[in-house]
Structure 1
Amino acid sequence: MSNDWQSATGISPKQNSETESLAPLSIDNVVVVSNRQPYRHRYEQNGDGDGSRAERSIAVDRPTGGLTAGLDPVMQKLNGTWIAWGDGEADRDATSEDGQVSVPPEEPEYTLQRLWLTDKEIDGYYYGYSNRALWPLCHLAMGRTVFDGEQWRTYRRVNQKFAEKVVDNVDDDTVVWFQDYHLACAPRTVRLQSSSSPFLLHFWHIPWPSIDAFRACPQHQEILKGLLGNDLIGFHVTQYCRNFLECAARLVEETEVDYDRGLIRHDGHETAVSAFPMGVEADSIEQLSEAADESAWQSFKHRHAIGPNTRVVLGVDRLDYTKGIPERLEALEHLWNTQPEWQGQFTYVQKGTESRSEIPAYQRLQNRVDEIIDRVNSRFGTDEWQPIVLVDENLPRKTLCGLYRYSDAAIVSPLRDGMNLVAQEYIASQVDDDGVLILSELAGSHEALGDAVLSVNPYDTEAHAKAIDQALTMPAAERRNRTRRLRRRVHNNDLSSWLNDVFEGAQQLREEQEAKS
């Protein structure tokens, strides 16, 4: 692994080439635990019937990208168990009485163990504590945090459900891999309730805040103690590791922290903390981008009333208040206002995906984005040109990669982000070596990509606007040089490399534990 992505603490990841497959692992049984499941079952209408259950068949939605898509082939190779909430409408009918189904459907290789949640549990655990307390807290959106006692109790109960399923599926040789902030309490529960001694690993995909922010959480001790049930905790970047170590040292009594080695000793157990920056499926993204021809791009532009010669700046985000979309739109407005020569010269395309619309903060964000777009388009738009185009329909992955490839620049400007894989997807799609990435200094991916992107502080409207101007006026040779450097980094540190590093880190730590026992 290159120095750009070097692990921060005690575990040293192995170098991986672009084409290297997953390294062989001496792991007999892997149990992945996540809120989101890799396969989801739904009903499909047969013929022209009236929609009754008898006239429907069951279809399956497969993982199309991100962590679930990356872990699926690993789990097929390891023949393990994946525990997740069954949220599909036909999930119950597709499973056995104990909630299990073998996947993939056409050639089963591992077990998907579903657990069932009531509407009240979903509201309290997922829409409540996970996304109204932990999510805003970790992204430093303190004004949006809601620490509701009943939601916290529901979160703990659901974590107990997950932990019980884990206990049913582990032995001394099992590696249990918890995913993200939905399951902070589960590791300690497994540690206390299991009669065996599985190796517990947790990857926290979002930022870990500083102690000054985290101590505002009324349940901070229980969250930390829950996570300290793990043998290894992974974060994307070194700063999140340091923040976690400090929180454990200062907020949990009778805790000993070795900052240099990234080790925490508490309640007779040792937990290692390390940085494993996550990558994307760079090769497959590159292939999809190469297959996206320019005629499809021109059809997209025509469909959205973008002139064939009009340049395009792209944004691809979930509609989340952490992504900095309003701040980005205001920077664009500032640019068109202060440099009117850009009016009519480029269109900003915002590909937005609705997210957590049941939560009021997300509803307010959607309204604010709509208001800014309407204002900017009314202020600067003409009969021939619309400054901002909002695309909210679902796009096939090949179409999205085509947008990445043919746009002149992309803006990825979160107010705070654990990593941000869109930035890496955009780079992997630049098969013509001519795109420019404008990237927030507050995204985790900036630590690895920063010196070859145009860096912005999303709160600085004038500087943000200047970066857009710089991207659109950058000489071709400089664009090519920057893009080639970025592509090498993204390909050399892709999703397979990340999975290798995490599993090898776990394996190395297990061997050290066995040597001590």
Structure 2
Amino acid sequence: MARLVVVSNRVPVPSAKGGTAAAGGLAVALEAALRSHGGLWFGWSGKTSTDREIEWLEIRDFGNVTYAVADLNRRDVDEYYTGFANRALWPLCHYRLDLTDFSRKDMAGYFRVNRSFARLLAPLIRPDDLVWVHDYHLIPLAAELRHMGVKNRIGYFHHIPWPPADVLSTLPVADTIMRGLAAYDLVGFQTSYDVENFTGCMVREGFGRALGNGWFESYGHRFQAGAFPIGIDTESFVEMAVEGAKNPIVKRTRESLHDCDLVIGVDRLDYSKGIGQRIEAFSRFCEMSPSAKGQVTLLQITPKSRSDVPEYATMQRDVAELTGRVNGALGDVDWTPIRYVNKTMNRNALAGLYRIAKAGLVTPLRDGMNLVAKEYIAAQDPNDPGVLVLSRFAGAARELDGALIVNPYDIEATANAIGRAISMPVEARRERFQSMFPKIRDHDVSWWCRTFLDALSQDESAIPTEAVRLLK
């Protein structure tokens, strides 16, 4: 079996005592994939240095995984990460042209850091390695590795939405971004909708030709694109949720509710997550349902994110103010409608909180997949499951058909869905749970990893016969 080399923007290196650094959904999924496959994980340490250039790597082994990380200097972080990646590519991919801030200085820093990463990574790659690059921070990496003579099969997975051609074309360097993707052998997306958008960008804008069966020819290179919906470590999360009932945070929460129904939302603080619209929908639900007063509480867990990006600092203030207004208008001395927690919660506690929640609110305005939706389903008691209220604009909505699907921009409809979830009979809740759980069980993170890597291992002999004829 070929060794796996995973490349991601941030690498959570385990501690010497064996613990794992705090990680989001992407990092947790990659860690599980590497543990089952073995190999090398390369990327940014998350630390800043005073060095003028990225000159050295810290390399550490834990079990069958080698971690190789580099520090970035302040200029790199400002231009590559905070700048082009998170003020240009991130809002663009989430259809937020109003927040897309393009700077040629930031763009230059983005490509400079990718070039430096390629220079450090290339000597570590063995001839038969499979290289798997993750997410929008690293789109140019394959092209840089190719320039350095790396011939290995290189795959790329895009964890966030891919925009349609009219949105992508507003980026002044759209052609360079598409050229970077064309240097990969396999480009993976979360849903077929994203693949359709990518095909439109490639063909309509004249960047390449579609050859059939997901194959493309672009900038002199043939590659494949497809949908590979990411999963969670379902079995492990089920066990964690059962054990989570004993977690002190979960116990205190249950006791403090005094038989109130709990509705839960868990999101990183980001404008794509629709947190403001969700709070307004919950407020509207309370206004429309007098019986909800003192009987239903929303727990919104929202760790801070990218606080050095101005748009995020503004949003943090706006959400806190909105929560305060709703609690002030609707709350009472013995009931707080919304409990707003602005810090990270450990996964054991989260799993336990999901399990005791009567409804889970996952209502992003746009999301590639959203693993919280799958974690909420995995955490439920099969005999008395909660109900998932899910945005139609989350990739998870393509799979989790037992959820109550809502348009998060429609505040009143979302409020009605909350009421429906809270009052749903247990038989209907079980039926919905039973339609979704087998999907997240069978299509877990190991399935995702295996499916992508099997496709990456294919070569051009897999191109359809008709496509081969067209290329001659």
Give the distance between the partners of 1:315 and 1:288, measured in 2 at CA.
18
CA distance in 1, matches of 2:26, 2:247: 31
Q: 1:243 aligns with which of 166, 175, 197?
A: 197
Matched AA of 1:322: S
Give the letter for the 2:280 counterpart: E
- Selected match of 1:308 from 240, 255, 258: 258
Q: Residue 278 of structure 1 is aligned with which of 214, 230, 241?
A: 230
**1: CA distance, partners of 2:117 / 2:318:** 37
The alpha carbon displacement at 1:509 in A equals 3.7
2:59 maps to 101
Classify 1:378/1:78 alpha carbon distance in 2 versus 1 (closer, same or farther; 3 Å): closer
Query: 8 Å contact 1:38–1:69 — kept in the other structure?
Result: no
Aligned residues: 459
SS for the counterpart of 2:273 is coil
Report the identity percentage: 35
What's the counterpart of residue 157 of structure 2?
203
How far off its partner does 1:318 sit?
A: 0.5
CA distance in 2, matches of 1:419, 1:229: 25
Q: Look up the SS of the partner of 2:117 in the other structure.
A: helix
Note the alpha carbon deviations across 1:54-100, whole angstroms, 9 max, x for none.
xxxx996446663433433543565432211122489x9xxxx9524
Partner of 2:431: 481
Instruction: Identify the residue that residue 442 of structure 1 maps to in structure 2.
Output: 393
What's the offset of the Cα at 1:250? 2.8
> Which 10-residue stretch deviates more, 66-75 or 422-431?
66-75
* Counterpart for residue 209 of structure 2: 256
Quote the offset at 1:293 in angstroms: 2.5
- Is the CA contact (8 Å cut-off) linking 1:76 and 1:110 kept in structure 2? yes
Pick closer, same or farther for the CA change 1:130–1:394 going to 2, 3 Å: same
SS at match of 2:147: helix
Partner Cα distance (2:20, 2:355) in 1: 27
2:181 maps to amino acid: L
The aligned residue for residue 161 of structure 1 is 116
Asked if residue 180 in structure 1 is aligned to residue 131 in structure 2, the reply is no
1:262-341 correspondence runs (5 A)? 262-293=214-245, 296=248, 297-302=250-255, 306-341=256-291
| More moved, 212-221 vs 335-344 | 335-344
Q: What is the Cα-based RMSD across aligned positions, in Å?
A: 2.3
Partner of 2:76: 121
- What is the rounded CA distance, in whole Å, between the counterparts of 1:329 and 1:77 in structure 2? 40
- Preserved CA contact (<8 Å) 1:171 1:197: no
Amino acid aligned to 1:139? H
Match of 2:25 in 1: 66
CA distance in 2, matches of 1:77, 1:382: 51
2: CA distance, partners of 1:370 / 1:425: 26
Gaps spanning 5+ residues in structure 2: where? none
Contact 2:79 2:110 in 1 (8 A): yes
Opposite residue 439 of structure 1, the aligned amino acid is L
Work out the CA distance in 2 between the residues paired with 1:70 and 1:465.
32
Name the structure 2 match of 1:503. 453
Of the three residues 404, 429, 444, the one matched with 1:454 is 404
Question: Are the equivalent residues in 2 in contact too, given 1:314–1:348 (CA < 8 A)?
Answer: yes
What CA distance in whole angstroms lies between the structure 2 residues aligned with 1:468 and 1:74?
35
Query: After the TM superposition, which segments of 4 or more aligned residues of structure 1 sit over 6 Å from their partners?
Result: none
Q: Does 1:39 align with 2:13?
A: yes
TM-superposed deviation, 1:163? 1.7
Contact in 1 for aligned 2:247/2:348 (Cα 8 Å): no
The alpha-carbon deviation at position 123 of structure 1 amounts to: 0.8
1:343 to partner: Cα distance = 1.5
Aligned-partner residue type, residue 242 of structure 1: E
- Cα distance, 1:424–1:376 mapped onto 2, change above 3 Å: same
Q: Distance in 1 between matches of 2:253 and 2:257?
A: 10
Name the TM-score, length of structure 1 as normaliser. Answer: 0.84
Aligned counterpart for 1:355 among listed residues 299, 305, 310: 305
Measured in 2, the distance between the counterparts of 1:428 and 1:341 equals 30
